[in-house]
Amino acid sequence: MSQELRTRLYAALDAIELVDPHTHINALAPAATTLADIMGYHYYTELAHSAGMPRERIEEDGLDPKEKVGRLVEYLGSLENTIQSSWLIEMCQVFFGFQDDAITSRNWESLYERAAELMRQPDWADRVLKQSKLEAVFLTNDFDDPLEGFDTSRYVPCLRTDDLVFHLAQPKVRARLERATGISLGNASSLRSAVGKLFEHFIGRGARACAISLPPDFSPERVETTRAKAALGGVLRDGPKSNAEHNRDLSRHLFWMLAEYCVEFKLPFDLMIGVNRNVYAEGVHQGRDLFDSRVSLIQYKQLFNAFPRVMFPISVLASVTNQELVSYSWIFPNVLTNGHWWYSNTPTFIEHDAAARLEAVPRTKQIGYYSDMYKLEFALPKFAMYKRILAKILAERFVIDRSWKEERAVDLGRQVLRGNVDAVFGKF
Amino acid sequence: MSQELRTRLYAALDAIELVDPHTHINALAPAATTLADIMGYHYYTELAHSAGMPRERIEEDGLDPKEKVGRLVEYLGSLENTIQSSWLIEMCQVFFGFQDDAITSRNWESLYERAAELMRQPDWADRVLKQSKLEAVFLTNDFDDPLEGFDTSRYVPCLRTDDLVFHLAQPKVRARLERATGISLGNASSLRSAVGKLFEHFIGRGARACAISLPPDFSPERVETTRAKAALGGVLRDGPKSNAEHNRDLSRHLFWMLAEYCVEFKLPFDLMIGVNRNVYAEGVHQGRDLFDSRVSLIQYKQLFNAFPRVMFPISVLASVTNQELVSYSWIFPNVLTNGHWWYSNTPTFIEHDAAARLEAVPRTKQIGYYSDMYKLEFALPKFAMYKRILAKILAERFVIDRSWKEERAVDLGRQVLRGNVDAVFGKF
Amino acid sequence: MSQELRTRLYAALDAIELVDPHTHINALAPAATTLADIMGYHYYTELAHSAGMPRERIEEDGLDPKEKVGRLVEYLGSLENTIQSSWLIEMCQVFFGFQDDAITSRNWESLYERAAELMRQPDWADRVLKQSKLEAVFLTNDFDDPLEGFDTSRYVPCLRTDDLVFHLAQPKVRARLERATGISLGNASSLRSAVGKLFEHFIGRGARACAISLPPDFSPERVETTRAKAALGGVLRDGPKSNAEHNRDLSRHLFWMLAEYCVEFKLPFDLMIGVNRNVYAEGVHQGRDLFDSRVSLIQYKQLFNAFPRVMFPISVLASVTNQELVSYSWIFPNVLTNGHWWYSNTPTFIEHDAAARLEAVPRTKQIGYYSDMYKLEFALPKFAMYKRILAKILAERFVIDRSWKEERAVDLGRQVLRGNVDAVFGKF
Q: How close is the nearest chain C Cα to the Cα of B398, in Å?
A: 8
| Rounded CA separation B312/B336 (Å) | 6
pLDDT number for residue A279: 98
pTM for the whole structure: 0.98
Find how far residue C293's CA is from the centre of its chain: 19
Which candidate, B160, B198, B163, places its Cα nearest to that of B179? B198
| Rounded CA separation A378/A211 (Å) | 21
Pick from B82, B276, B388: CB nearest A359: B82
C332 CB near a chain A CB, below 8 Å? yes
Tens digit of pLDDT for each residue in B376-424?
Answer: 999 999 999 999 999 999 999 999 999 999 999 999 999 999 999 999 9
Beta-carbon separation of A3 and C301 below 8 A: no
Looking at chain A, the whole-number percentage of residues with pLDDT higher than 70 is 100
Tens digit of pLDDT for each residue in B278-309?
Answer: 999 999 999 999 999 999 999 999 999 999 99
- The pLDDT of B358-364, averaged and rounded, is 98
Q: Tell me the one-letter amino acid at A305.
A: N
Burial class (CB in 10 A: 0-12, 13-18, 19+), A99: exposed
Beta-carbon separation of A83 and C401 below 8 A: no
Tens digit of pLDDT for each residue in B337-352?
Answer: 999 999 999 999 999 9
Pick from A49, A82, A320: CB nearest C359: A82
Pick from C298, C352, C403: CB nearest A292: C298
| Rounded CA separation B140/B24 (Å) | 5
Q: How close is the nearest chain A Cα to the Cα of C12, in Å?
A: 18
Beta-carbon separation of C327 and A343 below 8 A: yes
Tens digit of pLDDT for each residue in B16-42?
Answer: 999 999 999 999 999 999 999 999 999
Q: Enumerate residues 353 to 372 of chain C having a beta carbon within 8 A of any beta carbon in chain A.
A: 355-356, 358-365
CB distance A47 to A284 below 8 Å = no
Tens digit of pLDDT for each residue in A58-90?
Answer: 999 999 999 999 999 999 999 999 999 999 999
Work out how many CB contacts closer than 8 A connect A with C.
Answer: 104
CB distance A424 to A376 below 8 Å = no
Pick from A51, A287, A347: CB nearest C365: A51
Query: Does the pLDDT of residue A1 top 70, yes or no?
Result: no
CB distance C42 to C286 below 8 Å = yes
Q: How close is the nearest chain A Cα to the Cα of B290, in Å?
A: 7
Beta-carbon separation of A332 and B294 below 8 A: no
Per CB-CB distance under 8 Å, the chain C contacts of A323 are: none
Q: How close is the nearest chain C Cα to the Cα of B418, in Å?
A: 15
Residue of A nearest to C293 (CA): A294
Tens digit of pLDDT for each residue in A360-381?
Answer: 999 999 999 999 999 999 999 9
CB distance C137 to C376 below 8 Å = yes
Of the residues C363, C394, C416, the best mutation for testing chain A's interface (the one with the most A CB atoms within 10 Å of its CB) is C363
Query: Does the pLDDT of residue A186 top 90, yes or no?
Result: no
Per CB-CB distance under 8 Å, the chain A contacts of C356 are: 346, 348-349
| Rounded CA separation C377/C90 (Å) | 10
Query: Does the pLDDT of residue B213 top 80, yes or no?
Result: yes
| Rounded CA separation C82/B322 (Å) | 16
Q: How close is the nearest chain A Cα to the Cα of B279, in Å?
A: 6
ipTM confidence: 0.98
Helix (H, G, I), strand (E, B) or coil at B366: strand
Beta-carbon separation of B288 and A360 below 8 A: no
pLDDT number for residue B1: 59
pLDDT number for residue A406: 98
A332 CB near a chain B CB, below 8 Å? yes
Which candidate, C322, C325, C291, C272, places its Cα nearest to that of C158? C272
Sequence-distant (≥ 6) Cβ neighbours of residue C124 within 8 angstroms: C31, C118
Sort strands C312-316 and C269-273 into parallel, antiparallel or unpaired: parallel
Could you tell me how many residues make up chain B?
Answer: 428
Q: Tell me the one-letter amino acid at A414.
A: R
Q: How is B73-114 classified by DSSP, letter by letter?
A: HHHHHHHTTSHHHHHHHHHHHHHH---SSS--TTTHHHHHHH
C11 CB near a chain A CB, below 8 Å? no
Residue B290, H or E segment:
strand B290-291
Residue of C nearest to A348 (CA): C356
- Chains contacting B (3+ CB pairs below 8 angstroms): A, C
Tens digit of pLDDT for each residue in C22-52?
Answer: 999 999 999 999 999 999 999 999 999 999 9
| Rounded CA separation A315/A325 (Å) | 8
Work out how many CB contacts closer than 8 A connect B with C.
Answer: 104
Confidence of residue C334 (pLDDT cuts 50, 70, 90): very high
Mean pLDDT of chain B: 97
Sequence-distant (≥ 6) Cβ neighbours of residue A306 within 8 angstroms: A222, A259
Query: Does the pLDDT of residue B66 top 70, yes or no?
Result: yes
Q: How many CA atoms lie within 13 A of A386 on its CB side?
A: 27
Q: How close is the nearest chain C Cα to the Cα of A101, in Å?
A: 9
Mean pLDDT of chain C: 97
Beta-carbon separation of A329 and B50 below 8 A: yes
pLDDT number for residue C1: 60
Helix (H, G, I), strand (E, B) or coil at B66: helix
Per CB-CB distance under 8 Å, the chain A contacts of C358 are: 81
Helix (H, G, I), strand (E, B) or coil at B155: strand
Confidence of residue C2 (pLDDT cuts 50, 70, 90): confident
Beta-carbon separation of C360 and A82 below 8 A: yes
pLDDT number for residue B186: 85
Nearest-5° angle of CA A366, CA A368, CA A370? 130
Sort strands A275-276 and A290-291 into parallel, antiparallel or unpaired: antiparallel
CB distance B304 to B331 below 8 Å = no
CB distance B417 to B367 below 8 Å = no
Beta-carbon separation of B359 and C49 below 8 A: no
Q: How is A236-300 classified by DSSP, letter by letter?
A: HHHGGGS-HHHHHHHHHHHHHHHHHHHHHHT--EEEEE-EETTSSTTSPTT---EE-S---GGGG
Beta-carbon separation of A363 and B79 below 8 A: yes
Sequence-distant (≥ 6) Cβ neighbours of residue A290 within 8 angstroms: A275, A276, A279, A280, A343, C297, C298, C324, C327, C328, C331
Number of H helices, E strands in chain C: 19, 11
Per CB-CB distance under 8 Å, the chain B contacts of C50 are: 329-333, 362, 365
Confidence of residue A428 (pLDDT cuts 50, 70, 90): confident
Mean pLDDT of chain A: 97
Beta-carbon separation of A365 and B51 below 8 A: yes
Helix (H, G, I), strand (E, B) or coil at B209: strand
pLDDT number for residue B262: 98
Tens digit of pLDDT for each residue in A258-276?
Answer: 999 999 999 999 999 999 9
Confidence of residue C186 (pLDDT cuts 50, 70, 90): confident
C3 CB near a chain B CB, below 8 Å? yes
